[in-house]
Structure 1
């Protein structure tokens, strides 16, 4: 969805996993979870990458905790989040089908344990992650349109 959304908006696509330091990648490959310090450092890298795109960007990033989302909001006040709501089983199936990630699909369970869903936060659109990608992109574009029309 993110690639299609970025293309339609004419914005760069940022992949949060590409912003991990090598030490995080090795840690996860060994089967260990990232700790609060790891995630804080990673959040800082993501915030810097977003700030480096003053015209905007589409970011793929789990943003599991509110504190992480708030840190990004502090860095980029107009930031919006499209939250793809999936069950742990659905997310694990998707992760298992991907070949472009460094973490094992079993890591998805840990992510759900840490997840603080952003349902009642400002600047969040909750989308049914089981919908077809074209429908998800259309919904996100309608939601984002006012922000781009006022820019």
Structure 2
């Protein structure tokens, strides 16, 4: 991308945000921030117990990511956040209006298989249905692109970089 942007890699759990995010940041030459690191301990405890977060749980988390993004707007950066609902993305944009979203999308069975193969992550596959039920795809008026998560992480990243560059044109 020719101008600095903060890209938020979004999607349901298991789509590869934590894998693709750092690869995308490296390809763009900008820092990466893991969205899960912005969760307060209470959120992690809820999700670890298989309890979906409520919106009230998410606001401080989204505000923290938005603050990080605001601080990176002039220089660029990549952060991960599920950002499943429009209202969540609006909250992120309130902190950093120039955010661009990279929505990682995939077939539910592929995502579930990838989730079940993960080691040491607090999000159980039992919450996948709630994630897909909550997901609102990017609106036509939202700056961003959707990229399919089939293939290797490098292939996904290459498709993401190409799609984000098309936004510039």
Which residue in the other structure is 2:35 paired with? 16
Task: Give runs of aligned pairs for residues 83-102 of structure 1, distance below 5 A.
Answer: 83-102=103-122
Whether 2:94 is the aligned partner of 1:63: answer no
TM-score by length of 2: 0.78
TM-score by length of 1: 0.87
Q: C-alpha displacement at 1:146, in angstroms?
A: 6.9
Which residue in the other structure is 1:40 paired with? 59
Q: Output the CA distance in 2 between the equivalents of 1:3 and 1:109.
A: 26
Q: Output the CA distance in 2 between the equivalents of 1:122 and 1:26.
A: 32
Whether 2:128 is the aligned partner of 1:128: answer no
Query: Does 42-51 or 137-146 show the bigger shift?
Result: 137-146
Task: Give runs of aligned pairs for residues 65-80 of structure 1, distance below 5 A.
Answer: 65-80=85-100
Identify unmatched segments of 5+ residues in structure 1.
Answer: none
Q: Does the CA-based 8 Å contact 1:119-1:126 persist in structure 2? A: no
Q: Does the CA-based 8 Å contact 1:92-1:106 persist in structure 2? A: no
Q: Output the CA distance in 2 between the equivalents of 1:108 and 1:71.
A: 23
Identify unmatched segments of 5+ residues in structure 2.
Answer: 1-19
Greater RCO, CA 8 A, separation 6+: 2
Q: CA RMSD in A?
A: 2.1
